[in-house]
Every structure is written in C-alpha cells, then in structure tokens.
Amino acid sequence: MEQVTVAKRLDGIAFAGIRKVFEKANQLEAQGKKVIHFEIGRPDFDTPAHIKAAAKQALDKGLVHYAPNSGIPALREALAGRLKADKNLTYSPESEIIITAGGQEALYLSFMSILNEGDEVILPDPCFGPFPLAVGLAGGVPVKIGLKPTQNYGYDWEAVKKTLSPRTKAIVVNSPHNPTGGVWAEEQLRAVARFAGEHGLWLVCDDAYDNLVYEGCRLSPAGFPGMRERTILCGSLSKTYAMTGWRIGYIAAVEPVIGAAIRLQQNIMLSLCTFAQHGAVAGLTGSQDCIQAMSQEFARRRLLVLDMVRQIPGVVLEGNPQGAFYVFPRITLPGMTSAQVADYLLDNAGVAVVDGLAFGEHGNGHFRLSYAVSYEDCREGLERIAGAMKMLVQKNS
C-alpha cells in the first residue's frame, strides 16, 4: 500500500497526555481494578435538572434546525445579562458575543481572528495543552513564560519583559488557572492589563473556571479602564454548570473580533446544536443555586486535598491553589521523572494523575491532580498516593 501522508501542520500535534492516562486507566478498570480518576478535569455532577428540562422542551417543540452562526439570540442575550450581573461588563448580544463549541473552540477562533503569520503570543507555562497548539494552527508563535507558585502562579514578569518583541500580539490570562488552581490577585490582573495597554497587545482571557474561586479575586481585566476594547473573553458553561458534553462556550469581545469569529464559525461549525443552546439559556437565566452547591462541594474537597497532599512524602505543594479543582504538586524524588511517577501511581496504587509535562516544559517534575471526583474518592485516592510515595521514598533513600 502506498504510504499515506497527512498535513505537515499536524507534525507538532501529539495526542493529549490526559487522553493517554485516561485510556490506560480504562484498561485497568476493564480488568476489574478500581481506579481513582484524578486525571479528568470534568465535574462529577449531573447537569442541573432545569437545564436538561429546557433542552428536552426545545426538542419537543421541534427546535432542531440550524441556528444562526453566532448562536441563538436568546442565548447571546442571556450571556450578556450574566456578564453584566456577575462582572459588571456590558456587551451587545447582537454584535459582541458569539456562541462556540465550548471554551476550546472559543480560544481557537480567537487566535484565528487576531493573529497573522509569525505573530507571537505570550502564554503561561504550564498551561492548558491546546493553548500553544491553537496559537500554532493560527500561524502564530507561542512564547511560554514560567510561573511563580508563591505569587498565585502568576507570570515571571522579568521573563515576560525580556520576551517582548515587535511581533508580540497578545498575552494570555487564565485565572483560575489550569493546571495549578492559581488565582491571581487584583494587582496582578491590573499589572497584566497595564502591560497589554502600554504595548498595544490583545489580552486573551480563558474564563473556563471563573465561577470556581474559593479565595481571592473574581475581577475581570476587561473591567479596568481602557481594557474592554483590547480584551477577548473566552468562556464556557462546561465547568460552571457541569455541561462538559453539551459543548457550549462563547467569546465576548469588540465587534471586529466577533465578526471575524462568525466568518470562521460559518465555515467550520456552521452553528451549535440548537436545543442544547436552549438548555444553556435556562442555565444562565434560571436560579444560580446549582453553581453555589457545586462550588461549596468543590471547596470542601479542596480543603481535604490540600491537607492530605501536604503530608504526602516525596512531593511538595509550593503554591496555594485557590480556584478551579486542581493541585499541582512538585515531585522531590531524585532520579525519577514525573512521567515515571505518574505511571507508578497508576500501576501500583490504582490512581490516575497527569504527568505535568503534558502542560509544558515548566510542568515537568510535577503532576496534576483533579478533585472533580467524590469526597470519598479524594480521601481514598490520596491515601493510596501517600502509601505508594512512601514506598518510593524508602526505595530511593
């Protein structure tokens, strides 16, 4: 058979590290072993009943046809209302909001809309894996900057300033942060806003976890003077409303960016699932008690996880995760890579975590642990990790 080739643009795109550990964990479960899934960034809650009921009602009404490329008007209006109520931000639902296939497509459309070939984007390292890939697919160049765990996992500003060049087009903010759970303080958000303003940069905000802040600042940089015009908000209903499989996200930005994103959308996705969008309207406009209930449970798990992780031999938690549902401990064992430790924990303790290298070079030597599982599984999984790491420390001493 003749050799099959694919596009060269895919040469630098590997399968996600999270996918690899998830598949291996599933294989172990198929063999009858119980695995604690700390690798998945997915709330373990069901989508709230009123959201599902609204989607079912839309189906019953026959709302199953194409939607506008930018999303149904009711959902764009609901998002505009939510942004005003939660963040005191004003966006026109007609021209400044587009509905996307989750936060991930929102990021992709944003970079495709603002980047020209060779433009540089400053990214946190570690970061959500698709960030640099989306920048690269848009023709841009990801410039990765290490974070400071003791400063809310914020940027190393000396490193940022050294990387600034005439090609720098944008800088990314992700607070709460995946994979560390870091939440930036108000002054850190104001600092990045000033930096973007002074150098004429776009500020791209990944707001996927914006409702999961247990301590610290909830402000949006878009609300600072002069920043609305240069900030692109990429949001998602996935984590907030336990709607990961619904694939509902959005971009809120000035009209030229949204206009470009709509032109891309109509040639990539055309439009999002119509009845799912009607369910999302119910989520945004109905009672927000479901968010509070989920957030309170995550907060309860967080306290347990922080306490137990800090007692595990062979790892150290350098920062204080204040949001999302992740911790990112550093491995202190000499002679072992984070990939080896992650494999060891899965094979010997039945606990799936993600090798920190999956999130960038500065993630090497760490692993990400997601507490988006039950309180009981958090306790059992961390007890297993503690026992396994104790054996490793003894073996390496």
Say what angle helices 338-349 and 17-30 make with each other, to 10 degrees: 20
Q: pTM of this prediction?
A: 0.94
Domain check: are 126 and 32 in the same one?
A: no
Q: How confident is the model at residue 380, as a pLDDT?
A: 98
Answer whether residue 135 is part of any domain: yes
User: Per the structure block, which two tokens stand in for 50?
Assistant: 């009123």
For residues 37 and 374, give the distance between their C-alpha atoms in angstroms, rounded to a whole number: 10
Contact 91, 293 (CB under 8 A): no
Domain check: are 41 and 62 in the same one?
A: no
Residue whose tokens read 């990939």: 339
For residues 97 and 239, give the distance between their C-alpha atoms in angstroms, rounded to a whole number: 19
Give the percent of the chain with pLDDT over 90. Answer: 89
Domain check: are 366 and 245 in the same one?
A: no
Give the DSSP H or E segment for 236.
strand 231-236
Answer whether residue 1 is part of any domain: no
Answer whether residue 352 is part of any domain: yes
The residue-averaged pLDDT of 283-287 equals 97
The residue-averaged pLDDT of 305-323 equals 97
252, 285, 318 - which closes a domain: 285
- Kind of pairing between the strands at 120-125 and 168-173: parallel
- Kind of pairing between the strands at 367-370 and 354-355: antiparallel
For residues 357 and 373, give the distance between their C-alpha atoms in angstroms, rounded to a whole number: 23
Domain check: are 338 and 205 in the same one?
A: no
At residue 159, the 3 state secondary structure works out as helix
Answer whether residue 109 is part of any domain: yes
The residue-averaged pLDDT of 152-167 equals 96
Residues 6+ apart with CB under 8 A from 275: 55, 58, 59, 63, 64
Domain check: are 90 and 190 in the same one?
A: yes
Domain check: are 230 and 83 in the same one?
A: yes
Give the DSSP H or E segment for 387.
helix 375-396
Domain check: are 196 and 335 in the same one?
A: no
Domain check: are 38 and 54 in the same one?
A: no
User: Per the structure block, which two tokens stand in for 235?
Assistant: 């949001």
CATH number at residue 228: 3.40.640.10
Domain check: are 119 and 234 in the same one?
A: yes
Q: What are phi and psi of 202, to 5 degrees?
A: -75, 140
Residue whose tokens read 């410039």: 143
285, 308, 336 - which closes a domain: 285
Domain check: are 188 and 150 in the same one?
A: yes
The residue-averaged pLDDT of 375-382 equals 98
For residues 176 and 217, give the distance between their C-alpha atoms in angstroms, rounded to a whole number: 9
Q: How confident is the model at residue 185, as a pLDDT?
A: 97
CATH number at residue 13: 3.90.1150.10
The residue-averaged pLDDT of 276-298 equals 97
Answer whether residue 3 is part of any domain: no
Q: How many domains does the chain have?
A: 2
Confidence band, pLDDT 50/70/90 cuts, at residue 1: low
Phi-psi region of 62 (alpha: psi -120 to 50; beta: other; left: phi over 0): left
Q: What is the pLDDT of residues 175-186, one digit of tens each?
A: 999 999 999 999
Q: What's the N-to-C CA distance of the chain in angstroms?
A: 53
Q: What are phi and psi of 37, to 5 degrees?
A: -90, 85
Contact 384, 350 (CB under 8 A): yes
Answer whether residue 235 is part of any domain: yes
Average pLDDT, the chain: 95
Answer whether residue 82 is part of any domain: yes
Q: Per-residue pLDDT for 127 more than 90?
A: yes
268, 285, 302 - which closes a domain: 285
Domain check: are 300 and 368 in the same one?
A: yes
Q: What is the pLDDT of residues 89-112, one digit of tens each?
A: 999 999 999 999 999 999 999 999
User: Per the structure block, which two tokens stand in for 258?
Assistant: 């949204």
Q: Per-residue pLDDT for 357 more than 90?
A: yes
Domain check: are 335 and 386 in the same one?
A: yes
Domain limits for position 315: 8-46+290-396
Answer whether residue 205 is part of any domain: yes
Q: Per-residue pLDDT for 2 more than 80?
A: no
